[in-house]
Amino acid sequence: MKNILIIASAAVSLWLTATLGAAAGSRLGPAVGTAAESKVMTVCQKCHGPQGDSVSPIFPRLNGQQADYIVAQLKSLRSHRRKDTRAQGYMWGVARELDDTMMTGLAKYFAGQKPTQPQIGGALAAEGEKIYLNGVPAEGIAACQQCHGKRGEGAGPTPRISGQHAAYFRMAIGAFRSTLRGNETMHAVTKNMTDRDIEALASYLAND
């Protein structure tokens, strides 16, 4: 599996380099205006969609995401500090081709797109709302709103989680719970969550 991920990462990197071609030396600015910059955006769109509203739940929605969070994640991917399987397979090769200026421009672009709204009325939405707003003190589960805001909008380096793909949301929370994905705060918050707790939060916050 490790060899497959290394090969996949290398292939993505080579493809990205070829796609950028004449874009070498170009720097993505807030306007995302030049032909070279458009090529960079085309690479991102392959997985995340034209405005970051991805179709496949394999790839997270980035539209309306906090710019500071996007930059932080891209830097973590570029330095290989983020080591979960999907990060290695999809994003290590891509992120290493981006400098800080490109990252900032991409982050501003996606942050400026209209966010996807959560799909109200899931089977466990009412239960998920209680967990989100109040936590489960008896189980040591903190209220999610303390960091992510009352509507899941996030702030600064804390991500927007409302409107995310339900499958991606479940996968991400499961990765934090198992410590496969590094984040001490999220490890503490999720370690006592049951599968039902995660499903309830997805029912309240997500949008398939």
Q: Domains for the chain: give ranges and CATH numbers.
A: 2-111 (1.10.760.10), 125-205 (1.10.760.10)
Give the per-residue pLDDT at 38.
62
User: Model's pTM, two decimal places?
Assistant: 0.82
Q: Which residue has the higher pLDDT, 26 or 119?
A: 119
Give the per-residue pLDDT at 136.
97
Give the per-residue pLDDT at 37.
54
**Residue 9 scores a pLDDT above 70:** no
Across the range 147-153, mean pLDDT stands at 97
Across the range 88-117, mean pLDDT stands at 91
Q: Which residues have CB under 8 Å from 11's CB, separation 6+?
A: 93
Buried residues in 151-180 as b, exposed as e (16+ CB within 10 A): ebbbeeebbbbbbbbbebbbbbbebbbeee
pLDDT tens-place string over residues 36-80: 356 457 789 999 998 899 999 999 999 999 999 999 999 999 999
